[in-house]
Amino acid sequence: MKIRIKRWLASIVAESMDVDTRLKLIKSEPLEEIITEPELRGMLETNSKPKHYIGLEISGMPHIGHILLGGKKINDFAKAGIETQVLLADWHTMANNKLGGDWEKIKKVAGFYRDLFSFFCPKTRVVLGSDLYPQTKDYWETLIQISRRTTMARATRMLVIEGRSEKDSLYVSQYIYPIMQTADIWALDVDLPHAGMDQRRVHVFAKETFKSMKMKNIVPLHHHLMPSLVEPPQFDANSSKEEQVAAMKMSKSKPGSFISILATESEVAETMNKAWCPEGVVDNNPVLLINKYITLPIKNELHVERKGEHGGDVDYTDYEQLVEDFRSKKLHPADLKAATARSLTKIMEPITRKFGSERIGISKLISS
């Protein structure tokens, strides 16, 4: 009941916004791309309540990129009067052989994901793929119709959305995965499919396929991905942008590259202290980008504590000023890391207080 009331109140607030105000909310950090903005404007002018969705594979412990970055963007969309939805893609998880393909384990971890997103994104509907498909007439027929329009070459190029490539030892289920993702967009009657930039290829495919099948037009929305905290890899000239984005993102499978959403204060500080953050280097600096995408958009300020001989305390409300001070070496990496860790811990505190007791059980389940 409380959630329905919140959604109703949010819709009233959104109806009072003009299109430009709604667009500004939608385009705020950490959004990176709209395909296309004129189409989005036209949709907002003609559709008072467009439907959004973001799909999440059920794998390891969610990290700050999933909840604080992705969840923040979901909440922005809800404020803008968009009907937001999170699809917990349990069948996709099995198709991609995550969590060992163990269905009982997938279902239990999915329950934790559901509670987590319901808490952080209270205006959002959370649905399981295993509940959606039996309730959706013609889901499998639509999936086959989409498959008939998909070449193996196109399906292979989309493997990047699963963190896979044609160099891997693959199973047929992993080629079906992007077709299912496209069918999900149809099944949920989505207007605005949303994801990180690593999902761009499947959304472009869905947009083109829907047009060829004379289905509704969709406007994909892509947010920046939270970068890995380890040193960025080197790429050869043949690497695509999507492959580079996927390789540089924060990942649960790369030790030291991520901060768990249930990390303790000391764990956040320890991980941040080890993060790649060379003095004066601002390009692809993950500690700076955490402030760009998470701490400044959520807290509106980064408070840096320093001894007087090192310049004393300073507050940053402008990201460009933060970058400039770091570039010019007025701000030392150790001070930036410590301030970022403290800010993240404060943002995470309501989540860790609510779910901290589940941390050990979920971690054991995931690693078993």
Between β-strands 125-128 and 85-89, what pairing exists: parallel, antiparallel or unpaired?
parallel
- Residue 311: the pLDDT is 82
Question: Around Cβ 341, how many Cβ atoms within 10 Å?
Answer: 24
Q: How far is CA 139 from CA 17, 66, 92, 161, 241, in A?
A: 36, 27, 15, 21, 32
- Residue 128: the pLDDT is 96
* Of 108, 183, 113, nearest in space to 147 by CA: 183
Question: Around Cβ 214, how many Cβ atoms within 10 Å?
Answer: 6
Q: At what angle do helices 71-79 and 103-120 cross, to 10 degrees?
A: 50
Q: Output the CA torsion 223→230→89→165 (10° steps).
A: 100
Q: How many helices (H) and strands (E) does the chain have?
A: 19, 8
- Residue 321: the pLDDT is 97
Three-point CA angle 318, 257, 179, nearest 5°: 95
- Alpha-carbon distance of 126 to 181, in angstroms, equals 16
Between β-strands 31-34 and 125-128, what pairing exists: parallel, antiparallel or unpaired?
unpaired
Indicate the domain borders of the chain: 2-223, 259-367
Q: How far is CA 276 from CA 136, 247, 272, 288, 335, in A?
A: 46, 15, 9, 10, 14
- Residue 161: the pLDDT is 77
Question: Around Cβ 93, how many Cβ atoms within 10 Å?
Answer: 25
Residues of the chain predicted below pLDDT 70: 1-15, 165-167, 237, 240, 242-243, 246, 253
**Domain 259-367, CATH 1.10.240.10 — does that match?**
yes
- Alpha-carbon distance of 29 to 297, in angstroms, equals 7
Three-point CA angle 336, 338, 351, nearest 5°: 115
- Residue 12: the pLDDT is 53
- Residue 170: the pLDDT is 85
**DSSP string for 58-123:** --S--BHIIIIIIHHHHHHHHHTT-B-EEEEEHHHHHHTTGGGG-HHHHHHHHHHHHHHHHHH-TT
Choices 3.40.50.800, 3.40.50.620, 3.40.309.10, 3.20.20.70: CATH for 2-223: 3.40.50.620
